Copies of this chain bind each other. A is one copy, B any other.
Amino acid sequence: MSLGVAIVGCGLIGHKRSKALAGARLTACADVVLARAESLARTAPGAVASDDWRAVVSRPGVDIVVVATTNQSLAEIARGAVEAGKHVLVEKPAARSVRELDPVIDAAARARRLVRVGFNHRYHPAVQKAHEVFASGALGELMFVRGRYGHGARIGYDKEWRADPALSGGGELIDQGVHLIDLSRWFLGDFTTVSGFAHTYYWQMPVDDNAFLTLRTAREQTAFLHVSCTEWKNLFSLEIYGRDGKLHIEGLGGSYGVEKLAYYRMLPEMGPPETTTWEYPRDDQSWALEFAEFIDDIRLDRQPSAGLVEARAALAVVEEVHRQSGYDVGRSRTGRTS
């Protein structure tokens, strides 16, 4: 029989998750606003709604809890869910800080439950194809990764929850930045040197709207990353350089442009590379693919990737860049939650 899913946090992301359950069934919904939980529950026969996430994550018939709340609740609910014996898919960044995440890691280990973190960009088709080419060895040894990711402005952005560090744990860096960090680490491995500068250039808000990162592995492979919510023209670009070729992922569909992967293969005689490009004009299936893989994780009792290890690595980078840039979001937040 198919797995039962509870969704905690029934906003935009909760709704997207409910449509990408890869054969699992929505059986329960929770939201601090009961009407939102009810609205989502109505889309699935027999699903119940509640404004008490603790009640929902304890229900029998729930095998997986999806945590899709704003950032300040992600860790607490994920922890509660694993302690209730459920597997968990928690949206990125999974917590506002490493300090907040570590108890989730401990709890999951004790409860022997699996936690997947919603770094869904890994499941975009151009990213999947890029990782396949990389994994085939066709790029040779990797040298560096270059990433640019950002969106333009919308009026009132500085009044949204993301602009409140108590809710978000930070600005653009913890929002879109963790995707770039996670993707870079997926290709390059762990970063041992972190240098970065986050800054608030445009918006009147206490969190960063831009961050510039130079991350290095122990082998001096570099991830050179910029994330921005003053990008003006929406942009996603990730360039991956090996000794034998280059991959360039661009676009995420919609206002980010058609998703593409270009593969530049160096020839023995050097000069202009052999170039092949694949385009992915179809609708984003990344959420469903990610969830299907989680169902496989559970079936095979396999540690999800991306999971808590990956989230912790990304958050550690975020915190170090915040620290280097003079933001105290981590400290004040930690203070608040203690």
A282 — which chain B residues lie within 8 A by C-beta?
A: 271-272
Q: Work out how many copies of this chain go into the complex.
A: 4
A-B residue pairs in contact (CB < 8 Å), sample of 5: A143-B230, A152-B273, A195-B214, A273-B281, A277-B279
A164 to chain B, nearest CB (A): 20
A278 — which chain B residues lie within 8 A by C-beta?
A: 275-277
Does chain B have a CB within 8 A of A241? yes
A87 to chain B, nearest CB (A): 32
A122 — which chain B residues lie within 8 A by C-beta?
A: none
Cα(A277)–Cα(B258), bound, Å:
14
Residues 257-278 of A, flagged 1 when their CB comes within 8 A of B and 0 if not, give 0000000101001111101111
Inter-chain contact A276/B277, CB cutoff 8 Å: yes
- Identify the closest chain B residue to A275 (Cβ): B279
A232 — which chain B residues lie within 8 A by C-beta?
A: 241, 245-246, 264, 266, 273
Inter-chain contact B201/A233, CB cutoff 8 Å: no
Cα(A231)–Cα(B239), bound, Å:
10
CB within 8 Å of B: which A273-305 residues: 273, 275-282
Cα(A233)–Cα(B258), bound, Å:
13
Does chain B have a CB within 8 A of A110? no
Does chain B have a CB within 8 A of A222? yes
- Identify the closest chain B residue to A209 (Cβ): B143
A329 to chain B, nearest CB (A): 18
Does chain B have a CB within 8 A of A116? no
- Identify the closest chain B residue to A325 (Cβ): B220
Inter-chain contact B245/A272, CB cutoff 8 Å: no
CB within 8 Å of B: which A176-203 residues: 195, 197, 199, 201-202
A143 to chain B, nearest CB (A): 4
Does chain B have a CB within 8 A of A224? yes
Kindly identify which residue among B144, B226, B273, B281 contacts A146, using a CB–CB cutoff of 8 Å: B226
A245 to chain B, nearest CB (A): 7
A197 — which chain B residues lie within 8 A by C-beta?
A: 195, 214, 216, 222
Cα(A155)–Cα(B267), bound, Å:
11
A146 — which chain B residues lie within 8 A by C-beta?
A: 148, 226
Cα(A52)–Cα(B266), bound, Å:
43
